[in-house]
Amino acid sequence: MVSDDPDENYGTLHLASEVFATVLLFAAFGLSSRYLLQHRAELRRAEQRAMTLRSDFTGLVNHRFAEWGLSPAESEIALLTLKGLRIAEISRLRGTCEGTVKAHLSSIFRKSGVSSRPELLATFVDDFLDFAAGEPEAPAGVSG
């Protein structure tokens, strides 16, 4: 029944708009929940990939150190060097003299065929990029 009473028409219109707004809110909530679940899944995949890459890089570093015949002390110093620590910081962490760290670095450079800290880092960056791209120069037996 259609009524000429403006208050009754207003009430019906108001109710319809409230129902419409409620439906829109539920739809928005559903979409937001869906997007949240998708983003959580993407985050989990990204975290998994980061862990795999970290493991791959660690394997590559260990492989290179073994290939170069680095001693445990040289390996530790090379790793700290790759992390960007200065000679003074490395000597303090290891409880050794700076001269000892410098001697180990000279040995590391000689064994690895490089002449500087940036060149040592570049070797690993190049190797890892080759490894990540699946190029044949990647060391065999390194896997994530």
Q: How does pLDDT run across 52-70, given as a tens digit for each residue?
A: 877 878 888 899 999 999 9
Alpha carbons 140 and 121: distance in angstroms, whole number: 20
User: Is pLDDT of 74 > 70?
Assistant: yes
Please state, in angstroms and as integers, the Cα–Cα distance from residue 125 to each residue in 6, 27, 99, 121, following that order: 76, 48, 27, 6
Mean pLDDT over 122-132 rounds to 80
Residue 129's pLDDT band, with cuts at 50, 70 and 90, is: confident
Angle between helices 117-133 and 98-112 (to 10 degrees): 50
Say which residues have a Cβ less than 8 Å from residue 87's Cβ, sequence separation at least 6.
98, 101, 102, 105
As a whole-number percent, the residues of the chain with pLDDT over 90 amount to 62
Give, in words, the CATH class of 6-133: mainly alpha
Report the pLDDT value the prediction gives residue 58, as an integer from 0 to 100.
85
The answer to whether the predicted template modeling score (pTM) of the entire model surpasses 0.75 is: no
Cα 76 vs. chain centroid, distance in angstroms?
22
The ranges assigned to domains in the chain are 6-133
Report the pLDDT value the prediction gives residue 144, as an integer from 0 to 100.
42
Query: Phi and psi at residue 106, in whole multiples of 5°?
Result: -60, -40
